[in-house]
Amino acid sequence: MNRRIYILNGPNLNLLGKRQPEIYGHDTLADVERDCAALGAELGLETALFQSNHEGGIIDRIHEARDQAAGIIINPAAYTHTSVAILDALNAFDGPVLEVHISNVHKRESFRHHSYVSLRADGVIAGFGVQGYTLALRRMATLLA
Ligand code: CA2
């Protein structure tokens, strides 16, 4: 069975650890990639992390995941709150989908309280900092067991 997990990240998350540490912390996306790869090895999962500043780039990866990945962990960033197209792409993926937000979106502006992606996600983590990614990976291992 394919044990590859795609970890998809939306716009501006390439700046993680470089700006606004009071909201998003000091860890970079490279740190997230390393931590997920290490935990994935323990859990028997192979991780592949991608980031795109473009809606279509994220959608292309979701389509690719249809035959390349067993599950998707996604932080769609601002597209969370706007993108029916990402929701539609996720609805065409058969495996588990877990949604991660570094910040607690419910403690922030009201426009961040609604997520299109949550209509498809099997679980949502928000406000656990970048630790949310590894927590989601543990949950993914359980869902795929
Ligand atoms: O809390 C999250 O993970 C978010 O998905 C992050 C998005 C935001 O639009 C969502 O409402 C919640 C923003 C990502 C921007 O990331 C940056 C990181 C460091 C510096 C600047 C932006």
Span 97-121, pLDDT tens digits: 999 999 999 999 999 999 999 999 9
| Catalytic residue positions, numbered | 24, 101
Please answer whether residues 110 and 135 qualify as being in contact, where contact means their C-beta atoms are separated by less than 8 angstroms. Answer: no
Residue 37 has pLDDT above 90, yes or no: yes
Tell whether the model's pLDDT for residue 144 goes beyond 90. Answer: yes
Amino acid at 106: H
Tell me phi and psi for residue 55, to 5 degrees.
-55, -45
pTM reported for the whole predicted model: 0.98
Mutational test site, ligand 1, from 7, 51, 75, 116, max ligand atoms within 8 Å of CB: 75
| pLDDT surpasses 90 at 1 | no
Query: Which residue's alpha carbon is at the smallest distance from atom 6 of ligand 1?
Result: 77
Average pLDDT, the chain: 97
Which residue is associated with the tokens 């009201």? Answer: 110
